[in-house]
Chains A and B, each alone.
Chain A
Amino acid sequence: MSGPEETPKAKPEETHGSQAPQGPVPPAAPGPEPAAPGSEAAAPGPESDGNLPARLGEERLAEPVVRTGMFGVQGTPDTSGYGLLRVHQLPAIESPRPYGSYFDEVADALGGALEAAGVGFSDAIERVIADRGELTFYVRRERLPEVAAKFRDDPALRFELCSGVSGVHYPEDTGRELHAVYHLLSITHNRRVRLEVSAPDADPHIPSLVAVYPTNNWHERETWDFFGIIFDGHPALTRIQMPDDWKGHPQRKDYPLGGIPVEYRGAKIPPPEERRHYS
């Protein structure tokens, strides 16, 4: 971590936010940690340079490689026909009933369990997607512990095992950039479901599930480490894979891979993130 000092990119009027307890250590230089408007805890804003490694050269930020497509062909159909293979679509926004398989049963059981607790289905679940034989519930983040507890305890659901949490960063999905994905397994019924929760970059807080599924302890630490999602209520949300004093959250899309060019027999091979790619 002995590279050139980072130049703060924050605008001058932005105030210096106080650090969240588990946040990365601010640099000695004027730390670009803008307090996100509307965030209670003034957590380290993921927009800030705090997410970038200290060793990142300025010139690489200034000159990102913008080379896509083959042989400079831009916007025209590829003569090989390969361009027609492109299936660039977001998965179904919401699946209509019936979902098929055991999915309807699970959704009904969840609705019943929530109703018994005085919570409407749509108050807790944003939408449901049944895609490729897998069922995903998009849970409103404030309802996550409640919904997870229902999944664990309701006799018709009984998802005893949580396979941990996996983060995904969608920078272009404004307002819901950070996703936490939980995979639940019911040994009783031999079923799987997926819960997905999203949080905006400006307020990266998601309630912790450690009280419901203790196995999520390390998984949430890993997701905090890699994505900067703060799991409220976690007993000790500290870095787990990266060193304790690491800056930034490496799995985020705005965090560069940090590859270095490799020289082989006189030819320089650029690092993977600067090589030509086609998508």
Chain B
Amino acid sequence: MNVEAYFLRQAQTLVGSLGRIARHPFASAMTMAVIAIGLALPLCLQLLLQNAVAMTSGWNDAFELSVYLQKAASPARAEAIAHTLRQRDDVATVRLVTAAEALAEFREYSGFGQALDALSDNPLPITLIVTPSLAASSPEGTTALKTAIAAISDVGAVQIDSDWVKRLVAILELLRRVVWLTGGLLGLGVLLIIGNTIRLDVLNRRAEIEVMKLVGATDRFARRPFLWAGIWYGLGGGLLAVGLVALGVAILAGPVGRLAALYGSGFHLAGLTWQTAGATILGAAALGWAGAWLAASHHIRGINPS
């Protein structure tokens, strides 16, 4: 077959299959809507994940370490330890809280002011608030730092308030897997939906395929318009899915912003990026092609003139 004729034929088939879809607007729209919902669900989860990651990424200060010195340690010794810590690569800042300051702070926030008055002397040790450097601001980095600090003499206890951060990271990781799983399952669903739609198309055009085969059409030739139809269904569904998600984000962005503002946060709901939207639409088209290929190949092989 000559190349020019081949591409012209592809173009005609492409337009023809689009025309066929347009001639059954209701049925085609239904198919595309089902595909769109199948794709929108994992897309929403992905967006949720993306926003959760963005929201928690500003929470590095959660990795602060509270270093409680032994009661016997003198303020001079505390200064010395603070100085040593500041030399370390994995430490960003060290703030020294004297026993008196600690007591004042405690008195202010705890509500135990009067109880504290009953004590004859200050029970609180000198405290060093250590912030790890950015590079060490990970669960592993802070744990290593904690071990190092605990080994210094006159250090009583080191406390990291990062357990919940570890849990959050674990939850996000879990969520990421859930996104992949649902994405995979629903992608498979989309493949099957398109396959089934194409199967019905093929069976509806059985007579036509028989005639084509009688005059010498190969299975490939008979399959071609169905592959295009699959691509169109996928593209339509993908576009609709992106539209649905964008609409959802638009509806939620305002309330989310106001809620964040009430918590004193400047957080904004991030919508779909162009890359994600593009990948979704192209991925849907590819799924459409694949579903159509599977269904059309199988059913066209079974149609023979009689």
User: Do the two chains belong together in a single complex?
Assistant: no
Q: B residues near A, CB below 8 A?
A: none
Q: A residues near B, CB below 8 A?
A: none
